[in-house]
Structure 1
């Protein structure tokens, strides 16, 4: 169930918050660390990525300031949207400040919920949450991942 939230920030605002990221449940697939991928991009790379995305329950795009230079990021996001639907895809903007919005230069990124750090109604401390900008609601990231 989504609930309203009080405030959020893209990056944690307290020194120990990196440890809080480790509390997030779920498995992760990081392309660059996948030893089953061939060293050079080819059809096998594409098929492996398609399979990984299709097998996952949720898809989180880690959007950096350089993501807009990638030819694979829009392809992976499109696959995830097609396989999962818009409600099972979230964007995690990995930028150094809230003022940095270069990663938003792709207008379609605004279609998806964002992962943010902040105060969530009903939580005793700040948490990672999935925020829906249109409805101005959010839910705890662990809850979103478990659905």
Structure 2
């Protein structure tokens, strides 16, 4: 839980750790502390998984797999294409934080990856959402 801050992710990490330990059991030395050995495996797995989640700056134009979840299946393809086109029109500094937010990252996680003040991260997500809302809502006469 100290690594993941999420119970399900923690259970997955434990399972992955035990699998890796079993596969590499021949590398364990009898004079080694097994608890420490397992902890090192767990830490390395967590760090590697964390690094895999890093994002490249402004990837939305090239991200073919970027999809938004839309509840109405009949309109989802049209909505996704339209929303993706709106996302692609956002200024670069808003695209990455908003994409990460949509993907389920918390503000602090986004901020850690973007390396800036937390207020700037929150503000960019807020502004990006406002731009999208304005584009999606019909104009009032």
Q: Structure with the greater relative contact order (CA < 8 A, sep ≥ 6): 1 or 2? A: 1
TM-score normalised to the size of structure 2?
Answer: 0.24
Q: Which has the higher strand share?
A: 1
